[in-house]
Amino acid sequence: MSKILSIENLNVIYRIPEGRRHVLRDVTLSLEKGQIRAVVGESGCGKSTLVNSLIALLPENAVIESGRIIIDGTDMLGSGQSNMRKLRSSKLGVVFQDPFSALDPLYTIENQMAETINIIRKTNRKRAMEKTAEMLEACGIRNPEEIMKKYPHELSGGLRQRVMIAMALLNEPEILVADEPTTALDVTIQKEILQLLKKLAADRQLAVLFITHSLDVAAEIADSISVFYGGRVVEEGRIRDIFNFPLHPYTQALLKTIPSIKYGKNERKLMPIEGEMFSFLNETSGCSFAPRCPYARKECFEKDPETRMLNGHSCACVLEEVW
Ligand SMILES: Nc1ncnc2c1ncn2[C@@H]1O[C@H](COP(=O)(O)OP(=O)(O)OP(=O)(O)O)[C@@H](O)[C@H]1O
Ligand code: SF4
Ligand SMILES: [Mg+2]
């Protein structure tokens, strides 16, 4: 497999009246063609900030302080804002949690999809319609011509999300970024959308960065996981390794919060993670999980733990026992 996306030591801050909120901290991850990587973490840990950095849609008070975002060999951050947007729209498609707010209620599906193609490819209307129908079909919609005539409010949540995925793929991007795309859907539809994304990744060699707060969902879709805590990747590895041999105390705690583990041998009891969630309000040093970690020692509060690698599985924790 070849690498299509590489994020290296990305640091992003938000300027706030009290000073700065350092939300992405040395984030490093990569994605290969045909691979699905889940980014998993609690609400507020920085997942959407990562997505918005990738798609060049950070709010005005955000600053990328350092790091690199390399897409297919090109450093996006060194390309200037307008080049960056151009590169992004040719290489990267995005799906958000709420397809209803992402679709324009005043236009039929065919009009908004054909418009998207025209902006990108400047093709004629007939070809744009054919391409729209092809893509809807590839996204599991059996009656594309009928769906194309409808307005967003006439579609179910699951159908709207299929339409959003088809729209994101119209330009045949090599990377699809999906920010909690199934959170608003019921469980059966959620499973169908996850299956669809897996099929698209396999059939089209599409690289998928799948953002979720749920390890359950990650287990169902991903090949690899990056576990986020307090704006850092605290653990990274193949899904089986993370589920069977979680190294970081936060990953271990997170695994205990889900009812059954697909890749584990035993059913585990549901346990909440104790202590308060990480707050970005104060610039802290040391391990961000230290205030909640049952194994925390003095040094954990003093300096950032280094990320170490073992058999392709990485973890940012000082504990020798986990190695
Ligand atoms: N424009 C902004 N200015 C200041 N702080 C912000 C801004 N946007 C987000 N934040 C803060 O940055 C942190 C990370 O937010 P982000 O939306 O990236 O988290 P998330 O992991 O996507 O959360 P969720 O799971 O709830 O979607 C949060 O503490 C959030 O309050
Ligand atoms: S570095 Fe220390 S506080 Fe952080 S997870 Fe490891 S043991 Fe816990
Ligand atoms: Mg978010």
Position 300 pLDDT exceeds 60: yes
Please tell me what DSSP assigns to residue 297. -
pLDDT digits (tens, 9 = 90+) for 85-118: 777 778 999 999 887 778 899 999 999 888 777 6
What spatial distance separates the first Cα and last Cα of the chain, rounded to whole Å?
28
The two three-digit tokens of residue 214, written as one number: 């749920």
pTM summary value: 0.92
Best residue among 295, 304, 314 to mutate for probing ligand 2, ranked by most atoms within 8 Å of CB:
295
For 152, other C-beta atoms within 10 Å of its C-beta total: 21
Please tell me what DSSP assigns to residue 77. G
pLDDT digits (tens, 9 = 90+) for 165-212: 999 998 899 999 999 999 888 889 999 999 999 999 999 999 999 999
Using CA positions, which residue lies closest to atom 6 of ligand 2? Answer: 317
Residue ranges and CATH numbers for the domains of the chain are 3-102+174-316 (3.40.50.300)
What integer best gives the mean pLDDT of the chain?
Answer: 88
The two three-digit tokens of residue 22, written as one number: 């350092």
290 lines ligand 2 (CB under 6 A): yes
Longest dimension (CA), the chain: 67
Using CA positions, which residue lies closest to atom 23 of ligand 1? Answer: 44
5: CA distance to ligand 2 center in Å?
29
Best residue among 48, 228, 233 to mutate for probing ligand 1, ranked by most atoms within 8 Å of CB:
48
